[in-house]
A and B are shown apart, each in its own frame.
Chain A
Amino acid sequence: MHENRRAFQFGRQRIYNQFLGMASRLTNPGQGSVSGPDRDRLSLVIENFGDPVIVADHTARVTLLDSVSKRLFGSDKAGGEDGIAANRTKLDRYLTAFTFSVLECQDKTISFYDPNLQSEVEYAAHSIKIYDSRGQCAHTVTVLRDCSNSNKVERLQLERRMEMEKFAATGKLAGTIAHEINNPMEAIKNAVYLLRDRVDPASRPIYDALKSETERVTRIVRQMLGLYRNAGTFGSFDLNGVIEDTLTLFSRPLEKARVVVDKRFGQLPAIKGSADQFRQLLSNLVVNAADSMPKGGKLTIRTRYTQSASTGYGQCSLTVADTGTGIPPAIRPAIFDPFVSTKGEKGTGLGLWIVKGIVEGHSGRILVRSTVGRGTIIKIIFPVSPD
């Protein structure tokens, strides 16, 4: 889950300020307990915070871990890795000491084992108490900030590399499974084809279901294989050209769906990476955009290149925006996870997961902005090194 966080990080500083403001308001005795809209906002803020956040009750029992801290402390059920169990013990000790102390807030340095980095990481723990209407401590909120700022870049790189390796390994596994499925799939498809004229009318719906479900498996396998096939070939390519090619491929269906395409291409240098992967990325985004506009609409595709005058380093952005339904808020935190889809049998839920893998493979970031009823903007930013 925490991988998605990067996508939402653009708003983090704002969220941090908001969080501190809200927390201090809530810690103010006489303001009532955490309830109603404040509580909803609090959980929203916690979920989008980016740093580990831990909420505990007045007995120092952990009541809420955001997804980042779940990574450090495991989910509700303890167990799993030794490092995580040790983290849990340390956390419990820390929380107990703070909760039963007279302090209203506290700052302390603690180190926890990071399962991704497989090493101890120093955190500045900042804890506050939240009081109920009678002025009793009802909750404690603890935020962990990573102190090893000096290593931050290295850590990000390491994390990114590990994520890429994970993605590559997942891709490979997905590919193997997909291939194994494709063998029997051919037989199944042949069987379905042979039955096409031999089905009595009463059994027709069953036959149709068999056929369409078989096609669904094909779509899942195709997405998985796409990921596998495109694993390797890195080179240098013209991104605007790749976009043109891909759009040509979709021009018919888009026209039919009454989607107007607005292209705004900037001057781009040659991009280092995999053109095939970008094709796959783009078609996934274009199909998603088109799916979100069943009554037609506008699809905007924009590219831009900006370069830092001092360092020569540049970055390229690719934006795909639609005027569609927007992403349902309930699934927003999970859209980059595999098999998350609202399209029922028409979607595999692998599209954005693949997009994320490709973007990370190019050291890029994804920003998502979506408003229900108005549309979705997906912006991909990746670095272009000079030479």
Chain B
Amino acid sequence: MPALATEMEKKAATVLCIDDEQTALHLRQSVLESAGYRVLTAKSGARGMEVFRSQSVHAVVLDYWMADMNGMQVAREIRKLNPKVPIIILSAYGELLDESLGIADLWIRKGEEDPQYLLSSLEELLKNRPIASQRV
């Protein structure tokens, strides 16, 4: 029973991916789609916020380094709108760890982990939380 539920949640789950690097964003989208997620993409923090406000999103995967606003700012804005939605921040920089505690659910060191790590973490985060819609 629980396995089935997870599978269904995953099918239904929409992940918002935010990154200002086109290639990276596109590949990450494909990886998430290959695992059955519906993926929305945004090429800037501001655009990401627009998408988050206008659509139903179950989880957010965002890059820390973006030209307009950094990943932490985006995460804070999202938290204001929805304190529960899982947020994963990707960063090649280690210093983020402390800063992100309490805001992002997970911080993944870009490039060091395999894509499977992102997928299994996402699955875990979506399983442990009641699915929240975009507005509280």
Contact of A193 among B21, B93, B114 (CB under 8 A): B114
Q: Does B122 lie at the interface of the complex (its beta carbon under 8 Å from any beta carbon of A)?
A: no
Distance in angstroms from A12 CB to nearest chain B CB is 41
CA distance A181 to B94 in the complex (A): 14
**Quick check: B110 and A190 within 8 Å, CB to CB?**
no
**Complex interface: stretch among A2-10, A39-47, A220-228:** A220-228
Interface string of A183-227 (1 = CB under 8 A from B): 111110111011000000000000000000000001001100100
Contacts of B27 in A (CB 8 A): 187, 190-191, 194
**Beta-carbon contact of A229 and B116 below 8 Å:** no
B24-A229 in contact (CB<8A): no
Q: How many Å lie between the Cα of A359 and that of B4 in the bound state?
A: 53
CA distance A187 to B31 in the complex (A): 10
Beta-carbon contacts under 8 Å, A152-190 to B: 179-187, 189-190
B24 touches A183 (CB 8 A): yes
- Contact of A222 with B112 in the complex, beta carbons under 8 Å: yes
**A213–chain B nearest beta-carbon distance, Å:** 14
Subset of 11 A-B contacts with CB under 8 Å: A179-B93, A183-B110, A185-B112, A186-B92, A186-B110, A187-B24, A190-B28, A190-B115, A193-B116, A218-B112, A225-B94
- Whether B38 is near chain A, meaning CB under 8 Å from some CB there, is no
- In Å, the complex CA distance between A179 and B90 comes to 12
State the Cβ distance, A190 to closest chain B Cβ, in Å. 4
B30 touching A190, Cβ below 8 Å:
yes
Taking a contact as CB atoms under 8 Å apart, the answer to whether B111 and A186 are in contact is: yes
Q: Which 6 A-B pairs have the closest CB atoms?
A: A182-B111, A185-B111, A182-B92, A190-B27, A193-B115, A186-B110
Asked whether any CB of chain A lies closer than 8 Å to the CB of B109, the reply is yes
B98 to nearest A CB, angstroms?
A: 12
Q: Are B109 and A182 in contact (CB under 8 A)?
A: yes
B95 (CB) vs chain A CBs: closest residue: A229
A contacts with B: majority SS: helix
| Residue of A whose beta carbon sits closest to that of B23 | A187
Which B residues touch A218, using CB under 8 A?
A: 111-112
Contacts of A225 in B (CB 8 A): 94, 112
Interfacial chain B residues near A193, Cβ < 8 Å = 31, 114-116
Contacts of A184 in B (CB 8 A): 111
Q: Chain B residue with minimal CB distance to A178? A: B92
CA distance in complex: A225, B115 (Å): 20
Beta-carbon contact of B112 and A221 below 8 Å: yes
**Contact digits for B87-118, partner A, Cβ 8 Å, 1 yes 0 no:** 00010111000000000000001111011100
Contact with A along B74-93 (1 / 0, CB 8 A): 00000000000000001011
Asked if B34 is at the interface (CB within 8 A of a chain A CB), the reply is: yes
Point out the residue from A185, A186, A194 that lies within 8 Å of B34, measured CB to CB: A194
Residues of B within 8 A of A191 (CB): 27
Instruction: Return chain A residues, CB-CB under 8 Å to B109.
Output: 182
Contact of A186 among B24, B93, B94, B116 (CB under 8 A): B24
Q: Give the shortest distance, in Å, between B133 (CB) and chain A (any CB).
A: 28
Q: Which residue of B lies closest to A187 (CB)?
A: B24
- How far, in whole Å, are A269 and B31 apart by their CA atoms in the complex? 51
Which residue of chain A lies nearest to B92 when distances are taken between CB atoms in the complex?
Answer: A182
- How many Å from the CB of A348 to the closest CB on chain B? 14
A211 to chain B, nearest CB (A): 10
Q: Smallest CB–CB gap between A175 and chain B, Å?
A: 8
How distant is the Cα of A183 from the Cα of B114 in the complex, in angstroms?
A: 13
Cβ–Cβ < 8 Å partners of A221 in chain B: 111-112
Q: Which residue on chain B has the smallest CB distance to residue A215?
A: B114
**Which B residues touch A185, using CB under 8 A?**
110-112
Closest Cβ neighbor of B34 among chain A residues: A194
Bound: A261/B64 CA distance, A: 43
Contact A183 B92 (CB under 8 A): yes
> Known contacts A193-B116, A228-B94: does B31 contact A183 (CB below 8 Å)?
no
Q: How far is the CB of A9 from chain B (nearest CB, A)?
A: 36
A182 with B116, Cβ < 8 A, contacts A187-B23, A194-B30, A194-B31 known: no
Which residues on A sit within 8 Å (CB–CB) of B112?
A: 182, 185, 218, 221-222, 225
Neighbouring B residues of A229 by C-beta, 8 Å: 94
Digitize A47-74: 1 where CB-to-B-CB distance is under 8 Å, 0 elsewhere.
0000000000000000000000000000
| A186 touching B90, Cβ below 8 Å | yes
Q: How far is the CA of A179 from the CA of B21 in the complex (A)?
A: 16
| Distance of A384 from chain B, by nearest CB (Å) | 30
Task: Give Cα distance in the complex from A182 to B94, angstroms.
Answer: 11
Closest beta carbon of chain A to B5's beta carbon, Å: 26
Q: Are A189 and B115 in contact (CB under 8 A)?
A: yes
**A183 touching B111, Cβ below 8 Å:** yes
Tell me the bound Cα distance from A225 to B92 in angstroms. Answer: 10
